[in-house]
Structure 1
Amino acid sequence: MASHPPYEPLPLTHEDHVPTQLYNSPPSPPSSSFHLPTGDHDGMPYTDDMGIPMGAAQPRFLGRALYDNGAPSVRDSYASSHATLPAGSGDRGSEYTTDSVYGLNDAPTPPRAYTDSTTYHDEPGFFVHGEQPRRRDEKRARAAYASPRSRRKPILIGLGVVVVLAIIVGVVVALTVGKKKDSSSGSSSSDNTAEPTSGSSSSSSSPSGKVALVTGSDGSTVTADDGSTFTYVNPFGGTWYWDENDPFNNGARSQSWNPALNETFNYGVDTIRGVNLGGWLVTEPFIVPNLYQTLQSRSTTTFTVIDEWTLMEAMGNDTANGGVSQLEDHYNTFITEQDFMQIAAAGLNFVRIPIGYWAIEVLEGEMFLPKTSWTYFLKAIQWARKYGIRINLDLHALPGSQNGWNHSGRLGSYNVLYGPMGIANAQRSLDYIRIIAEFISQPEYRDVVVMFGITNEPQGNAIGLPVLQTYYYQAYQNVRLASGIGEGNGPLVSFHDGFIDLADWAGFIPGADRATLDTHPYLCFTTQSTAPISTYSNTPCTAWGAEMNNTMADFGFIVAGEFSNAVTDCGLYVNGVGQGDRYEGTYTGGGTWPALGNCTTDWLDYQNWSNSTKNSYKTFALASMDALQNWFFWTWKVGNSSAGIIEAPHWSYSLGLENGWMPTDPRESVGQCGNISPFDGPLSAWQTGGAGAGTIAASVTSALAWPPGLISFAGSASSAQSVLPSFTPSGTPVTLPGPTFASTSGVAAPTASIDVGSGWQNTQDTAGMMGPIAGCSYLDPWIGSTVSPPAPLCTNARRALEAPSTTDAATSLITPAP
């Protein structure tokens, strides 16, 4: 095994915060928990007690290193070799080798008052998995699907106006036949699938008598939901489908080789080739830097804007430019309908969409814009449906933060399953998982939103594998209660590996109905190198391929939810605002990093990359895709900085397409690693909702009973769950609303006559929503891990999980921190 230098220590706590209010409780005095990294009077940022700037994101890869006792891991980055690893290296060897203000445009002229920027997703480098025998390659062949029956009538040319009109009427009738609610079901249905010939499209009558196009293929004209039109470009035989009078029709197909939305996607046979829509509904400084820079530059901002919490605070102060409505401006422009069309045109069939818990609700004092992002997620469902793209919904940010990183909404400490508010925050999170699952399991949505990542990147090594698995199992039960066990309905439940070795997940809830593992391999956050990108041509194959294959055999289905083209940490805000980078020796997050060169000239000047360099990046991307097999690139789009350029080019799939270093057809990746023993599927029936799905042994379920007995604190012994603040199911669950459809044909919107679902699939799911217990005390959800629980916890001596009587007032008290 290749040796690696030790990682720098992880700063577990950041303490400089005035706690917010919870449940209308009185303000609390200053506590020791982290919040705003303000600057001093000279404009220099404050640092924490470890010397880390208060504007710096915690590098994600450090978490694992801290809990590995300094020992090298098979998941350490192979980038330190500066080149491809030899086949068979390591103790096991490797068989694998046998005009948007936020977008990509130049700065507008004249300049706009409000612009966006690009944010970085700083994932841990230790996600790079070790060398293990690889037994699977991506299988190109998949189960054959019956060709859908065409519903278009041939239009005879030159027979006269009367004949043409008669044929149009026939088309309308044909398109209407079979457009029932069951077009949203998971079973195959040829009746609802339209496959017009290239460049042609079908039409339907609107209530006003107008003829509106409802489907088409390459070269056809699409009317967007805002009424604008553009040409549908898809060289891969995909077809779009949108009928405002039948908005839940699932006849669209992303590419000819992928099943339409009303056909079955065979996981383990059909391949997931996807991109993340990072930085959209959960903002990040490196993906949308101009948004952060713009708010930082205004005189109303006197603190460092480092995450969405501080971004919202800055917007709230910036009333002259629209206040918090500026965030909706970002939602409205950064990702649009045309992005979904372009994603299908790039040969991709899935999108992973990160959302924050604030899409559902926020409590008083939490600095997020509530509910607004949900309306844009509903737009995403509509656009994905229109272009035949499936969605992996990723719950990216939990109350209190599950990892303490800027992309969890708030930089600082992590407080889910950890610290004094660890149980209470987990209970809230489980409620939000349940609420989302009830919505997406409805027949109107379940064939589009087919995967649900229940928690992005929890700090598994600190939380502990048993506690994390207990939480995951409870979340799994919430999702399956909403969607039904063994029926094939509802989403796959995706568990992030929590930065824990994939081998440790073998045997986790065997028999679970539609469960999958999520891992995020990155090369760029460990040892830096000046070696050119051409030397990395086979590194993904040796680093990732074997372990992905082993996991398919030992756990089941696994997907790489994130990866990128970056092999160094160069890029604006890649490590967080003001944190510098390792490559230039300016990284302030810990450790000693010698300066190796200049990021701009060595890595970021993509405008001047030679064809050879672009081809090397393309080779690296193809090797990554082949090694990971089922994947989501991070991310689809990176926006301009205030300088009017993209300063993190390795993270943008669309930029790579435009400039020639990403493949125009991702199927080119098949066989890139030279694998000789590919996994040929299919997965076992229980993994795909077939016979036996959901049959879990009683010994397994009893070992994973919720809540866990112990919750860890940084620097102290674990504490019994019974002494921590927790909630009780005393409230009414929030129900997420369905979409409101706009008309694109000049007639009144038809939403009133269309059933968009109740928002709650399982009417037997009647448990209350978690809320505070009268007489018990609660800390700020973002308090940090070093603060002790309230004492006494409950003045009425009732246990934290005991349900209150119907006469109790569900009020809460925040106990001041010591």
Structure 2
Amino acid sequence: MASSPSASPSSRRNKKSPLSKTCAALSLSALVAVLAFAGSSAATSSERSHHHHAAGAEHAVRSGALPMDGALKRALAPGQFASSGFDFVNDKVRGVNLGNWLVLEPWMMDTNTSTVLNAMAKGAPSSNAIVDEWTMGSYIDKEWMANFFTQHFDTWINETDFEQIAAAGLNHVRIPIGHWAFEDCIEQGAPYQALNRFDKLKEGVLLAKKHGIKVWIDLHGTPGSQNGYPGSGHAAPAQWPNTPENYALTQKAFNYLAQEFTKPEYSGTVTAIQPVNEPIGAQQRSVQQLLNQYYPWSWDALAYPNGTDQPASTVMLTTHDAWQGLAYWEKFYNQTQAQRVIMDCHPYFVYSDQEKSSKDTFRLNEVCQYGANINRSMNFYPTVAGEWTIGAPQGDNIPSLRDLPVTDAVTFKSGSPFTAKYMQFLAVNFRAQQQIFEAGSGWLFWNWKHLAYADQSYQTGMKYGWLPSNAQELEQQPFGSLCSGTKFVTSSAFIAGTGSSGSGGTGTGAAGSNFLSAKLPAIAAVVSGSAVAVALSSVLL
């Protein structure tokens, strides 16, 4: 099977790029050492399945899990899941992430803002040192930074965004928040500022409620960092499992979220809370060992935030697959626990060395292959793609990679930063992934807005026509069924058309640039085309 999604939003995963996330603070020699170790055991897919048979049995024992018949679980679960305010078994999550709002990720900002942030840095090791909130706090005046943060919280997402999200026919938002939103959860010596983030989160949830949108809250960063990605707050080696303090502060932060958002005023709006985003359990054994404790603990904390003598909450627990692959978790939770769990995966089909130079149909075949993972996981848990994107690694810069047949099934608007052929790929890629994710419990696109890479912005995609702009369009499948089993197929919608569905742009500039190399140019240049690059894509995502 071809290598599967590398994972991290565009990855994020800088966000989104797992590349940028984990590598930014590592010396090249340290990075190569990590990759040499991890590469020896990494799976070819970002939905990693390596060693899951042996390790899975161990986890089942640790969590008290019992073998569970998928059909039995399906028969029991619908009422329980529906009590959260959304029926994750029978309905489909269609939503967006509100990334770069309460957790800033500079790689998602416009060039001018990034330039200003770096210009404000004092004593930084390089001219582009501002990559996360840790470096902001370390090198920029705290008062200046506090003013910047509070203005950003008010403007990046506001009520207009919730109005537009509802009008787009979307039913969910996923809101990332860091542990440092709580002053007493900041680890000793960390340069974070809590400010009014938690108040803004509560305000956002109530705005979502006002506009009929469900909310999935995501603890995006933990003390010490669970993954070393910029979005965790600190782009450096993951040290989350290294101290008891880190774990205790994580529990404290999660308790704050659980106790607040299980209150009656949020009932039916907050449907799920995620105890940690993208922990690198597959790449770092100590992270997985901590997850073996933390996931069951967080299940209890969310089910009974006010003690076991009180009725259980109706909010679901969201479990990210820790890059282990969905099958790894099938028996992690026992039958009772599983009826309160949503499984979260973040398939990004863009980061391996092979994918960087692959044609569009290759990438779409990867999408179709991934559908089998979703289908199997649905026998155990409602499964949602909590982050994903549709851009190509090289953006719109290499016309020879556009190998889809021409279709006029979708019309694009003029003025786009992309060519018509690239917009067609974006439109087809969205529909293919929508189809496989909705064979499961749905999806949350990364991201609602993105100022650096237009092909990662749902807002921009609606504006120019490569993404649906309302509920009716979300129900339509203009290209027909795009997956036959595990293979990508084209239907009669793909014709020898004129290719005149909007002229698009030149594909130049930030919107059409290679977001992989743009995030970590130095490392990308060193590892490009090498075995290390292959390890990087499969280990860090």
TM-score (normalised: structure 2): 0.68
Q: Structure 1 CA distance, aligned partners of 2:348 and 2:361?
A: 17
1:325 aligns with 2:147: yes
Q: Is the 8 A contact 2:318 2:341 kept in 1?
A: yes
Alignment partner, residue 262 of structure 2: 441
Q: Is the 8 A contact 1:622 1:666 kept in 2?
A: no
Q: What is the deviation of 1:466? A: 4.8
Note the 1:145-184 alignment, pairs <5 A.
Answer: none
- 2:372 aligned to 535, 546, 557, which one? 546
Deviation string, structure 1 residues 421-470 (Cα, Å, up to 9, x no partner): 1x331122112111210111111113211110110011202135454222
Give the greater-gyration-radius structure (CA): 1
Alignment partner, residue 311 of structure 1: 136
Q: Is the 8 A contact 1:441 1:483 kept in 2?
A: no
SS of residue matched to 2:265: coil
- 2:295 aligned to 454, 469, 472, which one? 472
Alignment partner, residue 48 of structure 1: 27
Identity %: 28
1:493 aligns with 2:314: no
Note the 1:662-811 alignment, pairs <5 A.
Answer: 662-664=467-469, 665-668=473-476, 672-673=481-482
Deviation string, structure 1 residues 542-598 (Cα, Å, up to 9, x no partner): 2x2110010111x31111110001231659xxxxxxxxxxx99xxxxxxxxxxx99x
Alignment partner, residue 621 of structure 1: 430
Q: Structure 2 CA distance, aligned partners of 1:569 and 1:552?
A: 33
Q: Is the 8 A contact 1:295 1:314 kept in 2?
A: no
Q: What is the deviation of 1:471? A: 1.7
The one-letter amino acid paired with 1:333 is T
Alignment partner, residue 176 of structure 1: none
The one-letter amino acid paired with 1:540 is V
Deviation string, structure 1 residues 62-81 (Cα, Å, up to 9, x no partner): 9899546256435469xxxx
CA distance 1:300–1:437, shift in 2 (3 Å)? same
Q: Is the 8 A contact 2:391 2:456 kept in 1?
A: yes
Deviation string, structure 1 residues 700-751 (Cα, Å, up to 9, x no partner): xxxxxxxxxxxxxxxxxxxxxxxxxxxxxxxxxxxxxxxxxxxxxxxxxxxx
SS of residue matched to 1:444: helix
Deviation string, structure 1 residues 287-310 (Cα, Å, up to 9, x no partner): 124433212124746442121111
Q: What is the deviation of 1:372? A: 1.5
Q: Structure 1 CA distance, aligned partners of 2:254 and 2:374?
A: 27
Q: What is the deviation of 1:347? A: 1.1
SS of residue matched to 1:395: strand
Alignment partner, residue 509 of structure 2: none
Deviation string, structure 1 residues 221-272 (Cα, Å, up to 9, x no partner): xxxxxxxxxxxxxxxxxxxxxxxxxxxxxxxxxxxxxxxxxx9422111110
1:460 aligns with 2:460: no
Deviation string, structure 1 residues 474-525 (Cα, Å, up to 9, x no partner): 1111111216789673311011111112111111112204112111000111
Q: Structure 2 CA distance, aligned partners of 1:438 and 1:276?
A: 23
SS of residue matched to 1:396: strand
Q: Is the 8 A contact 1:353 1:393 kept in 2?
A: yes
Q: Structure 1 CA distance, aligned partners of 2:346 and 2:394?
A: 16
SS of residue matched to 1:460: coil
Which stretch shifts more, 333-342 or 562-571?
A: 562-571
Q: Is the 8 A contact 1:275 1:352 kept in 2?
A: yes
Deviation string, structure 1 residues 24-49 (Cα, Å, up to 9, x no partner): xxxxxxxxxx9996xxxxxxxxx726
Alignment partner, residue 561 of structure 1: 386
- 1:393 aligned to 211, 217, 224, which one? 217
The one-letter amino acid paired with 1:73 is T
Corresponding pairs, count: 411
Alignment partner, residue 538 of structure 2: none
CA distance 1:558–1:339, shift in 2 (3 Å)? same
- 2:180 aligned to 355, 358, 363, which one? 358
Alignment partner, residue 446 of structure 2: 634
The one-letter amino acid paired with 2:304 is L
Q: What is the deviation of 1:531? A: 4.9
1:339 aligns with 2:161: yes
Q: Is the 8 A contact 1:534 1:617 kept in 2?
A: no
TM-score (normalised: structure 1): 0.46
1:272 aligns with 2:93: yes
Q: Structure 2 CA distance, aligned partners of 1:480 and 1:438?
A: 10
CA distance 1:537–1:283, shift in 2 (3 Å)? same
Q: Is the 8 A contact 1:384 1:390 kept in 2?
A: yes
Q: Is the 8 A contact 1:315 1:324 kept in 2?
A: no
Q: Structure 1 CA distance, aligned partners of 2:24 and 2:428?
A: 42
Q: Structure 1 CA distance, aligned partners of 2:361 and 2:419?
A: 12
1:517 aligns with 2:343: yes
CA distance 1:377–1:514, shift in 2 (3 Å)? same
The one-letter amino acid paired with 1:627 is I
Q: Structure 1 CA distance, aligned partners of 2:36 and 2:157?
A: 35
Q: Is the 8 A contact 1:625 1:669 kept in 2?
A: no
Gaps in structure 2 of 5+ consecutive residues: 8-21, 49-69, 72-77, 402-413, 487-541
Q: Structure 1 CA distance, aligned partners of 2:218 and 2:394?
A: 24
Q: Structure 1 CA distance, aligned partners of 2:239 and 2:159?
A: 36
Alignment partner, residue 194 of structure 2: 370
Q: CA RMSD in A?
A: 3.8
SS of residue matched to 1:73: coil
Q: Structure 2 CA distance, aligned partners of 1:69 and 1:51?
A: 16
Q: Structure 2 CA distance, aligned partners of 1:327 and 1:373?
A: 9
Q: Structure 1 CA distance, aligned partners of 2:205 and 2:213?
A: 9
